[in-house]
Amino acid sequence: MATSSVPMMFTGEEGATRALGAALCERRDFALSWLRNFGIDATGIISVHVETPYATSNGKRRADVSILAACAPPRDGSAYSTDDSVREKKIIIEAKVDAFVDYQQLVDAREAADHVICLIPSDIPLPQEVDGIDVHVETWEDLASAMVDAKDDVLAFFACQFRRTLGSPRIRRRRMLAALTMTASLPEAWTAEFSGQSSSGNSLSIFFGPDRDSHYVRVEVANEQANKGQTPYAYVLVCSETSATDTTVARALRSAILPEPAADCIRIRKRRKRQNYPVGQFLEESNVPKDRTWGYGQKQLDKHDWCGFGVVVDLTREDYSEIDGKRWLDYVLNVGQALDLALRDVLHS
């Protein structure tokens, strides 16, 4: 098969993981040998599914790919139990093509499955915490090589597609931005979380300002927003752990002096409408500028014990360079520091 002439069939993580499920389902002998490489004692593939919901102690999740495999007889020669769960093993594959692995997602998957395979690009590091979880780690590059080595046209087709996705300019830029967030220079007393889930989706990193009496600044850095194009954005929020109509938050947002963007491709997103009543009325009566009222209100507080409002900073150039990405990230953190200083001054006044 002349795979080099085949058009690119998918452009992102969702398409890649669905294709992975199709490949493993179509070529079950390969899937079986691949699982055995991780020491999984499987004798057959019963089923392969994508985006499969499962429940954990932390709530509901969706597995990128889930495999139900028949397991080998116990090594001690004892008979099988009549319990089906003993004769079958559930394997969950969690995959990333352009961002960090969510540590908590791996923890939850390990709770729900007998084995978890973490599939990542070779140039995206794993969170250090993953060392404490019993997961198997594989790279997309090694998987594609194994598919090619299988000398099967179908597997070669999928290998070509995976390689083209990993090598596409968009995916390379997203991985570059992920690497920039890992090495970002943070203000003093700030911390970073590289595998958390942002409330806005597509999270790369979350940066936290110092805790100031149940208030803090939260910066959510994300690659792109669904249905909004292919440009990165960041939520920079003044947060409260007590109230969605917190006067301290409103005063900090109103008084903060934000720096000017460092380049034409960096801008603070405008807002035409305010938040819904009563939070929107509170922010309006507090004279908070509209473009500083992005964020999450009462529902977020009820569900996650924090809420926050602030600005959204966009990197508007789709073909952004590494320099553009670094300038944007530096500006985002400067905005966060400005909001943190305003928060400190309000609390000390």
Lowest mean pLDDT among 63-67, 216-220, 225-229, 246-250: 225-229
Are 334 and 207 found together in one domain?
yes
Based on the domain organization, do 201 and 331 belong to the same domain? yes
Domain boundary among 123, 145, 167: 167
Same domain, 201 and 318: yes
Rounded distance between C-alpha atoms, residue 340 and residue 256, angstroms:
9
* Range 242-248 contact pairs with CB under 8 angstroms and sequence separation of 24 or more: 242/214, 243/301, 243/307, 244/279, 244/282, 244/297, 244/298, 244/300, 244/301, 244/307, 245/278, 245/279, 245/282, 246/215, 247/286, 248/215, 248/343, 248/346, 248/347
34 vs 103, residue with greater confidence = 34
Whether the CB-CB separation of 221 and 313 falls below 8 Å is answered with no
Least confident of 14-23, 81-90, 162-171, 287-296: 81-90
Rounded to whole angstroms, the Cα distance separating 26 from 50 reads 13
Lowest mean pLDDT among 78-92, 121-135, 250-264: 78-92
77, pLDDT greater than 70: no
98 and 191 fall within a common domain? no
Domain boundary among 148, 167, 186: 167
pLDDT band for position 4 (50/70/90)?
Answer: low
Whether the Cβ atoms of residue 294 and residue 198 lie closer than 8 Å to each other: no
Q: Both 200 and 335 in a single domain?
A: yes
What is the domain count for the chain? 2
Query: Quick one: 277 and 149 in the same domain?
Result: no
Under the banding of pLDDT at 50, 70 and 90, the label for residue 35 is: very high
- What type of residue is 27? R
Rounded Cα–Cα distance for residues 128 and 101 (Å) = 11
pLDDT at 328: 97
pTM, full prediction: 0.80
Same domain, 101 and 214: no
Q: Is the pLDDT of residue 83 over 90?
A: no
Domain identity same for 267 and 138: no
- Which pLDDT score is estimated for 126? 77
pLDDT score of 71? 85
Mean local confidence (pLDDT), 188-196: 82
Domain that holds residue 189: 172-348
Please tell me whether residues 298 and 198 are part of one structural domain. Answer: yes
pLDDT of residue 129: 72
pLDDT at 150 over 60: yes
Residues 28 and 149 occupy one common structural domain:
yes
Answer yes or no: do 26 and 122 share one domain. yes
Burial level of 273, CB count in 10 A (0-12/13-18/19+)? exposed
Mean pLDDT of 170-188: 89
Domain end point (choices 117, 152, 167): 167
- Mean pLDDT across the chain: 88
Whether 140 shows a pLDDT value over 60: the answer reads yes
Tell me how far apart the alpha carbons of residues 262 and 340 are, in angstroms, rounded to a whole number. 19
User: How confident is residue 203, by pLDDT bands cut at 50, 70 and 90?
Assistant: confident
Residue 14 pLDDT more than 60? Answer: yes
Tell whether 217 and 103 lie within a shared domain.
no
